[in-house]
Amino acid sequence: STYQSSLSEAIDTPSADARANETQILHEVEALPLGAARAQVHENYIIAQSKTGMIIIDQHAAHERIVYERMKNMFHNTDIERQLLLIPEIVELTSEEYSIIISAQTELKSLGLVLEGFGYDSVIIREIPAILSRTSVQKLIKDIIDDIIELGQELKIKEKIDHILATMACHGSVRSGRRLNVDEMNQLLRDMESTPHSGQCNHGRPTYVELKLHDIEKLFERR
């Protein structure tokens, strides 16, 4: 009926005041350095709109830097919060790998990774950094061993801390292929704005590129 249609429209259609408020909030967010998230493409790139153009963010690279800086700050200023594994994980290694990881046991504990020898050439992982709660423990241990080998075993583990923290951060960051909602995307942008060196990932690659509106207009020969 006409009455039902009118009632439905009244319920579904935001009031003019509500629309005006949403517009005001959007303008305020767009004024922030990395703008307002508008979309996610290819399940890895966030498209944000700013007052001066648009920004494309690599979500994995950006979050990797955020996690790294948080872990580094915790390591140098407080303690890295640890999470006890309800079911400790056993990692089987070669003799060489076992020797390498056991020799770094004390230092790794300071990074939030608690392990001990378990039988023949195996280690049991009892605690991991809380920020890495979703990581593959097996892969993390293998990658840390690779780091120590790559950097040279003659170096003290303390000289490799930043490199190992970067490896841990990679495991604890939002992966490529993960869909994010608008709130999650905007939170990532705000976290980037408050994180040192967030314009580069831990490997030195850019985390975002910005296209100014006048450059976009040039592409379409509007200027």
Ordered domains of the chain (ranges, CATH): 2-62+176-219 (3.30.1540.20), 79-172 (3.30.1370.100)
Confidence of residue 24 (pLDDT cuts 50, 70, 90): low
pLDDT over 90, % of the chain = 68
pLDDT in tens, 62-102: 999 999 999 999 998 888 999 999 999 999 999 999 999 99
Q: What is the CA radius of gyration of the chain?
A: 23
The side-by-side arrangement of strands in the sheet containing 53-58 is 36-41, 45-50, 53-58, 208-212
Higher pLDDT, 4 or 71: 71
pLDDT at 190: 97
| Contact status, residue 35 vs residue 182, Cβ threshold 8 Å | no
Measure the CA–CA gap between 100 and 125, rounded to whole angstroms: 15
- Per-chain mean pLDDT for the chain: 88
> What's the rounded mean pLDDT across residues 14-29?
63
What the block records as the tokens of 160 is: 């490799």
Q: What is the pTM of this model?
A: 0.82
Write the pLDDT tens digit of every residue in 163-219: 899 999 999 898 888 899 999 999 999 999 999 999 999 889 999 999 999 999 999
Query: Of 62, 55, 60, 82, nearest to 71 (Cα)?
Result: 82
Tens digits of residue pLDDT in 135-147: 899 999 999 999 8
Helix (H, G, I), strand (E, B) or coil at 103: helix
Q: Is the pLDDT of residue 153 over 80?
A: no
b/e code 88-119 from CB counts within 10 Å (16+ = b) = bbebebeeebbebbbebeeebeebbbbbeebe
- The residues pairing with 90 across neighbouring beta strands, listed in sequence order, are 124
d(CA 172, CA 85): 16
Query: What's the rounded Cα separation, in Å, for the pair 217 and 223?
Result: 6
> Alpha helix locations (H) across the chain?
2-12, 16-30, 59-77, 95-103, 105-110, 137-151, 161-172, 182-193, 213-219
Confidence of residue 7 (pLDDT cuts 50, 70, 90): very low
Residue 212: closest CA among 62, 24, 56, 59: 56
Q: Among 45, 69, 49, 47, which Cα is nearest to 59's?
A: 45
pLDDT over 60 at 51, yes or no: yes
